[in-house]
Structure 1
Amino acid sequence: MLHRLLIALSIVFAAGFAQAQDTMLRRLDTGEDGKGWEAVGRLELAGNGFCTGALIAPDLVLTAAHCLFDPDSGERIDQSQIEFQAGLRNGRAEAYRWVRRAVVHPSYRYDGPVSADRVRNDLALLELEQPIRNGSVTPFKVARDARTGDRVGVVSYARDRAEAPSMQEICRVKGRQQGVLVMTCDIDFGSSGSPVFSFADGQARIVSVISAKAQAEGERVALGSQLDGSIDLLRSQLENNVGILKPTISQARRVRVGDARDTTGAKFLKQ
C-alpha cells in the first residue's frame, strides 16, 4: 500500500546531527524471537493486500489510514472484511479477529495531493469484534512525541517477508517537519501502519506509525506521523460513532484471504 505515497522530499536537518549506526532487520521467526512483540500483527485487507498494525488496547488496532482505501477505486474498504492477525508467524497467529468498526483521522484525504498534511494525518483506529485477551498478547502504550536524534525501532511485515514480522532494533529520527517524522528505518511495501517504538526507560512505546517511504537528500527514509493528540481524537470518533462505514457483508460469509473458510493460513497478495 506504500506505492501510492512514494514521494521525494527536500528536508533541512538540524546542524551537527550525527547518525549512529542503524541495525539490520531481524526476522522474528520463533516464539522466543517474537516474545513481547505479539501485539504487532498483519492486517488482511479484503483481498487487496496487507498492512501492519499494532494493538493499543485489547480491542483497538492502530494503523495507517491509507490502508483502509482501495488503491484502484479510492473508496473505503468495508472494514468488516479486514482481519487482524496478531503475531502472525509462519502461517499461525496468536489470535485472529475481524474488524467491527474503523475510523480514519478526520483531516486525512486519500485522494488529495501528496503532502506533509497527508502523511501527518495518515492514521486509523480499528475496533475489533472481540477483544484479544490472550496472556501472550499485551497491547502497547502510546507516547506523544519523538525528537530529532532519538533512537527508535520498528516491527513490520513487508513484501518478501510477509509470513513473519521483522524487527529493526535501532534506527533514528533524522528530522521533523510539519508534524512528520523522517526516519532512517528500513521499510517496504506492506510496512504501512507499522508501529515505530521508543525505548525510553526500557519500555517500548509507540511514537509513530509508518506512512510512506521517500527520498531525502539522496537517502531512502521512512515517513511517519507525529502522534500528538491524534489517538485521543480517534478514540473520541469511535465513542461517538463518527466516520463509521456500515458493513456490507455479514460475518458468516467472510473467509480469510486466499484460503478455505476453516484454515488458518493467509497467502500474500502482491501489491
Structure 2
Amino acid sequence: MRILQLLFSAVLICAPSLIAAQERDRLDHRSELLGWEGVGRLDTGTGTCTGTLIAKDLVLTAAHCVVDDRKEHVLPKGAMRFHAGLAHDFTAATRSVTKIVLAEGYLNAAKVSLTEQIRTDLAVLRLDRPIFSTEAEPFKVRSGAVQAGPVTLVSYGRGRNTSLQRESGCRLKETYRGGVMTFDCDVTFGSSGAPVFVNDQGLMRIVSVISMMSDAPGRETEAIGMSLPNVVDAMLREMRNDAARAPVSAGAKRVSVGQRSGGARFVSVD
C-alpha cells in the first residue's frame, strides 16, 4: 500500500501531458449533449464547479465547492444556480438551490487526515424545483466495489466552462484503504465535483466525484476522488429526514460541527 501522503499537494492547473490514448470530446452542441444533460455547471456566487443530477431535484458535487474556507462556513445557497446540460447558449434546465447537506465529518476532516478530507468531500444540493426527464435524466450512483479499469469523466473547466468535456479512456488506477480513488483523467479549475462514470452493463453509473489533483514529486499527475455508496446513502437519508422535519432555519444543513482549512482546489473563478 502506497503512503497517501504522496497525494498531498493539490494542483490548480491543467495537466497537458496526460496519455494520448484518452479521448476528449467537447459537447458544444445540443445534439452532442443527448444523454449527458444530467451533468451541469454549478455557479456558487464565488466560482463554478461541476455537479450531477442524481434525482429529479438533487445534485451531487464536491463539498469544497459550497464551503468558504477562509470564513469557514457554507456559502449562501441563495446565490447558487445549477445549469443542467449547459452548452454555450443552450441549457436543459436552470434551478436554484434550497438545501445543502455536507458529508458527515467534512467540516472537521482537515484536522483528521488527508484521507478523511477527500473521503468526505461531498455535498448534495436540493433544487427549488424538479428537473423533469424530458429536460435531463438523473444518473445513479453505482453500488459495490469498482475494479481498476476504464472510466469516463464528464466536466466543465477553465477554457471550456460553457461546454462539457467528455473524456473516455482514462482509468481508475487504484482505490486506497479509506475509499480514496486515483484516476489519470484530465482535470482543471471548475472540474471539482465532476462525475466519474463506469459502464455498468450498458448504463453509465457514477463511481466517484473529483476532489483534487495530486502533485507528488517524481510521480504522474493524478485526479483524486472518493468511493461513493456509503457516504452518499447517509447524505440522502439526512436529506430525507430533514425534509420530514419542520424547518428550523434558513441556513444550510451542517451534518457535523467543526472547521476546515485548505484551498478551494478546482473551483473556477473565471
C-alpha separation between the residues in 2 aligned to 1:169 and 1:246? Answer: 43
Percentage of matched positions with identical amino acids: 37
C-alpha separation between the residues in 2 aligned to 1:146 and 1:208? Answer: 11
C-alpha separation between the residues in 2 aligned to 1:63 and 1:54? Answer: 7
Aligned to 1:193, the other structure's residue is in SS state coil
Q: Deviation at 1:36? A: 0.5
Q: Deviation at 1:152? A: 0.7
Under a length normalisation based on structure 1, what TM-score does the superposition of the two structures give?
A: 0.80
Q: How does 1:185-224 map to 2 (within 5 A)?
A: 185-216=185-216, 218-224=219-225
Q: 1:78, 1:245 within 8 Å by CA — same for their partners in 2? A: no
Q: Deviation at 1:246? A: 4.0
Q: Deviation at 1:230? A: 1.5
Which of 80, 83, 87 aligns to 1:82? It is 80
Q: 1:103, 1:237 within 8 Å by CA — same for their partners in 2? A: yes
Which runs of 5 or more structure 2 residues have no equivalent in the other structure?
Answer: 9-18, 252-267
What's 1:234 paired with?
235
What's 2:160 paired with?
161
Aligned to 2:23, the other structure's residue is in SS state coil
C-alpha separation between the residues in 1 aligned to 2:163 and 2:69? Answer: 24
Q: How does 1:136-175 map to 2 (within 5 A)?
A: 136-175=135-174
Residues 94 and 218 (structure 1), Cα distance of their counterparts in 2 relative to 1, 3 Å cut: same
Q: Deviation at 1:146? A: 4.9
What's 1:262 paired with?
none
Q: Deviation at 1:245? A: 9.1
Q: Deviation at 1:137? A: 0.8
C-alpha separation between the residues in 2 aligned to 1:146 and 1:41? Answer: 26
Q: 1:185, 1:222 within 8 Å by CA — same for their partners in 2? A: yes
Report the residue type matching 1:40 in the other structure: V
C-alpha separation between the residues in 2 aligned to 1:21 and 1:152? Answer: 15
What's 1:72 paired with?
70
Q: Deviation at 1:241? A: 1.8
C-alpha separation between the residues in 1 aligned to 2:250 and 2:6? Answer: 36
Which of 72, 89, 94 aligns to 2:92? It is 94
Report the residue type matching 1:39 in the other structure: G
Q: 1:146, 1:207 within 8 Å by CA — same for their partners in 2? A: no
Aligned to 1:84, the other structure's residue is in SS state strand
Residues 49 and 172 (structure 1), Cα distance of their counterparts in 2 relative to 1, 3 Å cut: same
C-alpha separation between the residues in 2 aligned to 1:21 and 1:143? Answer: 28
Q: 1:74, 1:111 within 8 Å by CA — same for their partners in 2? A: no
Q: Deviation at 1:50? A: 0.4
Residues 230 and 22 (structure 1), Cα distance of their counterparts in 2 relative to 1, 3 Å cut: farther
What's 1:13 paired with?
none
More helix by share: 2
Q: 1:187, 1:213 within 8 Å by CA — same for their partners in 2? A: yes
Q: What are the superposed Cα offsets for residues 113-133 of structure 1, whole Å, 9 maximum, x if unpaired?
A: 460111011111011010001
Are 2:23 and 1:24 aligned?
yes
Q: 1:26, 1:168 within 8 Å by CA — same for their partners in 2? A: yes
Residues 247 and 25 (structure 1), Cα distance of their counterparts in 2 relative to 1, 3 Å cut: farther
Aligned to 1:163, the other structure's residue is in SS state coil
User: What is the number of residues matched between the two proteins?
Assistant: 234
Q: 1:103, 1:125 within 8 Å by CA — same for their partners in 2? A: yes
C-alpha separation between the residues in 2 aligned to 1:163 and 1:231? Answer: 28
Q: How does 1:119-134 map to 2 (within 5 A)?
A: 119-134=118-133
Q: What are the superposed Cα offsets for residues 226-254 of structure 1, whole Å, 9 maximum, x if unpaired?
A: 01311210111112229x99447xxxxxx
Aligned to 2:110, the other structure's residue is in SS state coil
Are 2:230 and 1:269 aligned?
no
What's 1:181 paired with?
181
Q: Deviation at 1:111? A: 7.1
Q: Deviation at 1:105? A: 0.4
Q: Deviation at 1:8? A: 4.5
What's 1:36 paired with?
35
Give the RMSD, CA atoms, in angstroms: 2.3
Instruction: Compare 21-30 and 119-128 and name the one that shifted more.
Output: 21-30
Under a length normalisation based on structure 2, what TM-score does the superposition of the two structures give?
A: 0.80
C-alpha separation between the residues in 1 aligned to 2:207 and 2:170? Answer: 13
